[in-house]
Structure 1
Amino acid sequence: MISNHTIEEIKSRMDIYEVISDFVQLKKSGSSYKALSPFTDEKTPSFMVSPAKNIFKCFSTGKGGDPITFLMEIDGLSYMEALRYLAQKYNIELEEEVQTDDQKQAQNERESLFITLNFAKDHFVENLWEVEEGKNIGLTYFKERGFSEETIKSFELGYALDQWQGLMDAAAKNGYNEEFLEKAGLKIVKEDKAYDRFRGRVTFPIHNVTGKVIAFGARTLKSNEKGPKYINSPETELYTKSKILYGIYQAKNEIRNTSNCYLVEGYTDVISLYQAGIKNVVASSGTSLTEDQIKLIKRYSENVTALFDGDKAGIKASMRGIDMMLAGGLNVKAVRFPEGEDPDSYSRQLGGTAFKEYLDDHSQDFMSFKTDFYTSESNDPIKRAESIREIVQSISLIPDPIKRSVYTQQCSNMLGIDEGTLIVELNKLLIKENKSKYSSKPPSASPSSGGNFPPDFGGGMPYGMPMEPPPDLFADPEDLVEEKVRPDDIIKNQERESIRMLINYGAEMIEGFEGEETHLAQYILTECEDIEFTSPVCQRVLELYKEQLEQGKVLTLQALLDHDDAEIRKEAVDLSTERYELSPNWSDKFQISVAHERDALRLSAYRSVLRLKFRIIQKMIVDNMDKMKSAADENEINGYLSIQQGLKQMEMDIANELGNVTVK
């Protein structure tokens, strides 16, 4: 258990910009930063970071919180794991408290898996450097591959002894639970037998983006091995193969710094390029590239360079990966090596400097790469036409219409094909794609999408054609009848507005009821004294402010973000984050003065509460009218009429105060 003192120090030191910029490319936007969401696929940035409030908010997914929450969301860390990551980042010494038996028993299973995998990694590393078998076989192999000791240690390479239960015995000796060996994919159980998964193989630890070992790859060094040359950990709670890239932990900072990611196939390709001085390199670990892996690359750069072996059959099989990267919004280049060479062998053959020069000289945008590859295969007109369609198909996947237009012109020039012909073919593909996309009933409007259009609607429209009508126009007319907004929902929205004022400005000092200075929080709570909020989470936040004010304190945003109640934490983030911010150019460049609620806090708070009371009275009018309709006699009706008259007068008075023109 990490001590409370250490947790408080971590929270006081952590900086939302510093933490998130390790994972996401942030761009300045007023006093905040914005980016494409790392949690979903989008083309318009909806991910906002507020350094002043030390929080983030993703308007596409609804996720939000402080740096700890971000680490838990982005990499599936537990709360304690996120704290340890931050302590390491800020060089904070961890003060730990002795756990009770109950706390030990309740220890998070994910943490136990991480601990078990880390033990296995250390055990394999020790075998490589300290045990004769490991030194003679594993270390010799790595050095024969040209890997330096520094590189071997950087990637924490190791060796699994050629024993059926070598790791299991070592784990038992050190008090590790066999259950977690199996859950981590380190032990295989078949009927009444149990044995190590990795035996007599060199090991390649697979790290997540924060540097935790989550799985292993392993290569046999036996020439007579009947099984596969490489084996990997099975998928576990920590490891989903399609969501991780080998080398991403070592490469992420260099990818961001160079604004480019080199993509290769295997572990040794990554390690060889890293040793050659090319550290912005990752591998798909021998599997087909996935959408999740593309999103992972996009966190750090929109530019990727795929490195292909010289084998034609292999290149053709990998072309789908280029198309997926284009569809994912990446700018794709490619490099092809001579026949029989791969990134690992060629980098060792040329040496670091010459290999870098080769990459620079032979790097082609995907258009040139595909054109050279397809047109060099055959002079047959039919096959040439098929190749051109393949290239146009790739262009159609690019979500940015301007980039599509540029590549269409380039394709026309390179292949000597009329641009109009290419545009016609491209439009056919785009129309087909849009029909497929909107053949099912579209999603309803939501605040995150900004209307009835999906976030990327219109991004794939044909050239020279009018934009298709909104998808809702294809819906059944009965489905388009606007649902009447319920009074209860209006009241809840207005309650949230009052709570928003509390969270954002509660500690600000304003002129109180008798001219004395008071906190805005005290002013709002006094005005809301006789109101019971209908929203449970808003009522709980209100009570928290009351409790703090009774102690002479004003509740802080950080206190809400640290609260045990997940609903309160989410509400705090949602109500303290603005998706849009007024450009400073309005005042700095154009001298246009725009009023803001913070300029007149008391008035803003007063009107906010007044609107809430207005909505409550409107609800009371509706409820009273319903009672009057079901009244049994004239006296009861007259009573309700009297109440109705009083309520309508109150409604009119508040409307006049608010400046409302019409009262419904």
Structure 2
Amino acid sequence: MRINPETVDRIKQSADIVEVVGDFVALKKKGANYSACCPFHNEKSPSFNVNPVRQIFKCFGCGAAGDAIKFVMDIDGVGYGEALRYLANKYQIEIQEEEVTDEEALRQNARESLYIILNFAKNFYLQQLHDTDEGQSIGLSYFRERGFTNDIQKKFELGYSPDTWDAFTKEALNKGYTADILEKAGLLIHKEGSRAAGRQTAGYDRFRGRVIFPIHNVAGKVIAFGARILKTDKSGKGASQPKYLNSPETEVYHKSDILYGIFQAKNAIRQLEACYLVEGYTDVVSLHQAGIENVVASSGTSLTIEQIRLIGRFTPNITILYDGDVAGIKAALRGLDLVLEEGLNVSIVLFPDGEDPDSYVRRVGAEAFKEYLKKASKDFITFKTETLLQDAGNDPFRLAAVIGDVVNSIIKIPDAIKRQVFFHRTSEMMKVDEQMLISEGNKLLRKLHTQPKPQERGNRPTIPQGPQDIPFSNDGPPADFFESESTGPASTEIEESSQRTKLYYQEEAFIRLLILYGAHELEPTISVCAYVLGEIQGIDFKDPVFHHLLTLFRENHGREVVLQTDYFQNHHEKEIRNLTISWLTNKYELSTLWTEKFEIYVPSELDMLDKSSFINILRLKKAFIEEKMKICMEELKKATTEDQENALMNEYIFYKGISMAAAKELGSVIG
């Protein structure tokens, strides 16, 4: 089914770019616009800009750009249709759909199919928990025993999978889903030899006999499941089964990229400017129930660079809550330098022996738990220093190793002022000379900077260049809408800049003027478009994109139609769309202090349209004439007769006179 055009228009009109982007990134007001660190590539200084007037976003670092729909597509890796459905659900718009052809139906996006079956599975597990005797006696009893209320169960969409081999699989097959899609979603495990036997069921449920914790992505879609076993199986071998079982990696679920509870916690993290990181599902649910909602879990995996950056979208402050397992903490300390490298402020809270966040908050209550967090919280460097010093004792060799280890962590902090503060604090704790620590840090930094930077950490690039390719969806715009923005003008700017001529930049400035201000009137009945086009008759543009745009303006002007900016902002050609958004988005804004404090009025580009139009025309003509002069000089070198030489020289002198006249008007100096 395809969403009909009227519904698409309603979605576009309802979606607010600030609200949509704000669900995924912590935005800060900056003049008339909003800014943030780009979620599509790794950066320390914000270069990601959101324009609420034009309803567009633009990153000056990686070149990512577009509207609210494009943002959802890029951030969530979904097709056009799925992005529309997400926005329709967010703004409570009823979707009206149209029939599609068989050929279009075959092109249904594979990722969207996975989202659909995973959502079906979530609803099945919910129904089993609340509407069956087994679910109520086993699953619901477990959740109530842990003190989870009905509201918190609903918030996290907790469920139960019946203790039979293929209850879910049979239900899914009866509803028309295929065994292949069930397996791709990680819900079905094939029995040995079942493929060859050609059975319809062809396997068994992965999560049978377990309570279910759905894992949501940032947008709130179910992408995987975590499941906890509650009893031994009938053969008495339950003890050999893992306590927790997670979905395998799929096309929509990469465990190193996601944090459990991020969807439920993101707003609280952004508002409180702090994030608590725990280890397990029940820790997250228990803390939410206690009113501590800015908490997520790494789901038993080691903390990854992708998870750190996911937290960094919403806050630079992260507090990691550990239980009393000292051996586990020492192992984890080695991986936390990654957090420092990303510029996050890391603190550690250690719970008493035998306690974890879930058990401790249930034992002492919410208020006492919050008070404990305040008292027990230590910054990462201090915690690491104290822990390693205690382990080293008085052994001088081990103490020297501790100094090297701690200094190696401090130099990972990008901010120089923070590094200086930690060097000073560490020198006091270790009773060593501060300058010695700084010198050792500088030595390590020099060594680090002379080493070639690895292109990858693990199997993934350390700095993704903009959004990845978006798969085609049957109910979307033309295919080029889904191309990676990293292949647009921003990513090739360095390569092309050396090849661009003065004429190119004047053509660009001229087209920019037409797209942004072509419909504005210089005088009654005389638009910018009518004026500038009338002044450049006989001039054609050399760049193919600008030539195409100039032709569009000329053809429509001939029909007494002036193309508006919105036409190009939503153009079906990606390059035109990107150029328009880049021209609409200013990297820097004039401070309001000029008028508010100093009472100095600075005219805007709109205020000086008549002058800028005239200057654009002159500069374009001058650049156009200079290209003609170059051609004359090149042909003069090839001339074989005196008559040819004289004709070319006269032509050159003619062009030179026009160029000098234009330069005089512009106030340029001609050598």
TM range (shorter): 0.7 to 0.9
| 2:448 aligned residue | 433
| 1:251 aligned residue | 265
| 1:150 aligned residue | 151
Please say if 1:404 is aligned against 2:404: no
Q: Report Cα offsets for 1:171-226 as digits up to 9, x if no partner.
A: 12112233322222222345534323322222221111110111122222344333
Q: Cα distance 1:199–1:556, how it changes in 2: closer, same or farther (>3 A)?
A: farther
Aligned partners of 2:413, 2:263: CA distance in 1, in Å?
A: 28
Residues 488 and 619 in structure 1, CA contact (< 8 A), matched pair in contact too: no
Q: Cα distance 1:187–1:491, how it changes in 2: closer, same or farther (>3 A)?
A: farther
Q: Cα distance 1:483–1:278, how it changes in 2: closer, same or farther (>3 A)?
A: closer
Higher deviation after alignment, 482-491 or 530-539: 482-491
- The correspondence for 2:434, drawn from 415, 419, 430, is 419
Letter in structure 2 aligned against 1:426? G
- The correspondence for 1:502, drawn from 510, 514, 534, is 514
- The correspondence for 2:303, drawn from 250, 266, 289, is 289
Shift of 1:16: 1.9
| 2:213 aligned residue | 204
| 2:621 aligned residue | 613
| 1:471 aligned residue | none
3-state SS of paired residue (1:146): coil
Aligned partners of 2:607, 2:332: CA distance in 1, in Å?
A: 58
Please say if 1:636 is aligned against 2:637: no
Residues 521 and 528 in structure 2, CA contact (< 8 A), matched pair in contact too: yes
| 1:319 aligned residue | 333
Structure 2: gaps spanning 5 or more residues: 196-201, 456-464, 466-493
Residues 561 and 572 in structure 1, CA contact (< 8 A), matched pair in contact too: yes
Q: Report Cα offsets for 1:11-45 as digits up to 9, x if no partner.
A: 22222222222222222222222222121221222
Q: Cα distance 1:438–1:201, how it changes in 2: closer, same or farther (>3 A)?
A: closer
How much is the aligned-residue C-alpha RMSD, in angstroms? Answer: 2.4
Residues 487 and 619 in structure 1, CA contact (< 8 A), matched pair in contact too: no
Aligned partners of 2:503, 2:647: CA distance in 1, in Å?
A: 26
Letter in structure 1 aligned against 2:3? I
Instruction: Map 1:491-640 to 2 at 5 A.
Output: 491-511=503-523, 516-546=524-554, 548-549=556-557, 552-640=560-648
Residues 500 and 576 in structure 1, CA contact (< 8 A), matched pair in contact too: no
Higher deviation after alignment, 275-284 or 650-659: 650-659
Relative contact order higher in (CA < 8 Å, ≥ 6 apart): 2
Q: Cα distance 1:212–1:548, how it changes in 2: closer, same or farther (>3 A)?
A: farther
Q: Cα distance 1:321–1:633, how it changes in 2: closer, same or farther (>3 A)?
A: same
| 1:459 aligned residue | none
Instruction: Map 1:199-348 to 2 at 5 A.
Output: 199-223=208-232, 224-225=237-238, 226-348=240-362
Aligned partners of 2:589, 2:625: CA distance in 1, in Å?
A: 33
| 2:194 aligned residue | 192
Shift of 1:550: 5.2
Higher deviation after alignment, 325-334 or 548-557: 548-557
Aligned length: 619
Higher deviation after alignment, 269-278 or 547-556: 547-556
Letter in structure 1 aligned against 2:307? Q
Shift of 1:358: 1.5
3-state SS of paired residue (2:97): coil
3-state SS of paired residue (1:389): helix
| 2:458 aligned residue | none
Residues 524 and 609 in structure 1, CA contact (< 8 A), matched pair in contact too: yes
Aligned partners of 1:218, 1:550: CA distance in 2, in Å?
A: 67
Residues 185 and 233 in structure 1, CA contact (< 8 A), matched pair in contact too: yes
Aligned partners of 1:606, 1:40: CA distance in 2, in Å?
A: 40
Q: Cα distance 1:283–1:425, how it changes in 2: closer, same or farther (>3 A)?
A: same
Shift of 1:312: 0.4
Q: Report Cα offsets for 1:251-299 as digits up to 9, x if no partner.
A: 0000011110000112121111111211111111111111111111011
| 1:7 aligned residue | 8
**Where does structure 1 differ by over 4 angstroms across 4 or more consecutive aligned residues?**
437-440, 482-488, 546-553
Shift of 1:601: 0.3
TM-score in terms of structure 1 length: 0.88
Q: Cα distance 1:109–1:432, how it changes in 2: closer, same or farther (>3 A)?
A: same
Shift of 1:578: 1.1
Aligned partners of 2:224, 2:529: CA distance in 1, in Å?
A: 50
Identity of aligned residues (%): 49
Shift of 1:332: 1.0
Residues 487 and 615 in structure 1, CA contact (< 8 A), matched pair in contact too: no
Residues 660 and 670 in structure 2, CA contact (< 8 A), matched pair in contact too: no
Q: Cα distance 1:310–1:484, how it changes in 2: closer, same or farther (>3 A)?
A: closer
Letter in structure 2 aligned against 1:490? K
Please say if 1:88 is aligned against 2:77: no
Shift of 1:110: 2.0
